[in-house]
Amino acid sequence: MRAGRDGRCRRGKGPAWVLAALGSLLVLAAFALPMLDRGSSPTQRGTGAVTDGGPAQAPALAGHHGTTAVARRAAPDAGRPIHLAIPSLAVSAPVTPVELDGAALVPPADPQVLGWWSNGGVAGASRGTTVIAGHTVHTGGGAFDHLADLGRGDVVRVVTESGTVEYAVTTVTIFSKASLAAHAEHVFSQSVPGRLALVTCDDWNGTDYESNAVVLATPLRSR
C-alpha cells in the first residue's frame, strides 16, 4: 500500500494494504494464501510476546484467548456498528459500512471516519470477526493513528443501532504485508466466537507504510 502526500493510508496501483490480504480471504476463501516468509514474523504488542509467525503458529494467533459465555451468545445490543470509542486513546469516531472494491476493503476517505466491513460479523454477534478499518496519518489527524499503542485489557466500545457492546483487547500485532496475507484466514475468520478486529497502517518510512497493526478484542458485556 502506498501513502498519499499527507501520509495517509491509501491504496496505490497494487492491492490495498490489509485489504489485499483481507480480500484474499473475504472474497474467496477458496484461494490459497501465500506461505509466510520467516523474515516477516508478526510482533505481538500488548501480550509481551513475539510470535514465530510460521504457518503452524496461525491458529494461536487467531486467537481465542478463552471462549467465554459472552463470546458464545449474541449480545442483546448486537448490530451494525455506528460509532467506536477507545477511551485510553481518546478516540471517538463514527463508523460507516464499507464493502470490497475488487480485492480491497478501503476505509472511508475521511481519516476521522472508520469503515466496518459490512459482509463480516456485526458487533456483539455470537460468531465471526467484526472488522473495522481506519486510516493512519503520519502527520496526525487519523482516528487510528495510535492504535498500536493499545495493550491487553484496554476497552473498546462499539455503539450499534441497539446499544453498546464492550470489548477488551487481547492482542496487538504488527504484521508485514506478507505476514498478514499469510495469517488473513485466521485473523479475519468468520467461524470463530464473536470478536472485534481493528486494522490500520503502521511503520511509516517517510514514503510508505510498511506494516499493518491489527488489534483483536473479545466481548466483555453489553449495556
Whether 148 shows a pLDDT value over 50: the answer reads: yes
Whether 193 shows a pLDDT value over 50: the answer reads: yes
pLDDT at site 162: 92
Residue 37 main-chain phi, psi, to 5 deg: -75, 135
Tell me which fold the domain 2-222 belongs to: Sortase; Chain: A; (2.40.260)
- 34-50 pLDDT, tens per residue? 222 223 345 554 443 32
Per the confidence metrics, is the pTM higher than 0.75?
A: no
Q: How far is CA 194 from CA 124, 177, 202, in A?
A: 7, 25, 25
Where are the domains positioned within the chain? 2-222
- 87-113 pLDDT, tens per residue? 999 999 999 999 888 767 788 999 999
CB 60 within 8 A of CB 53: no
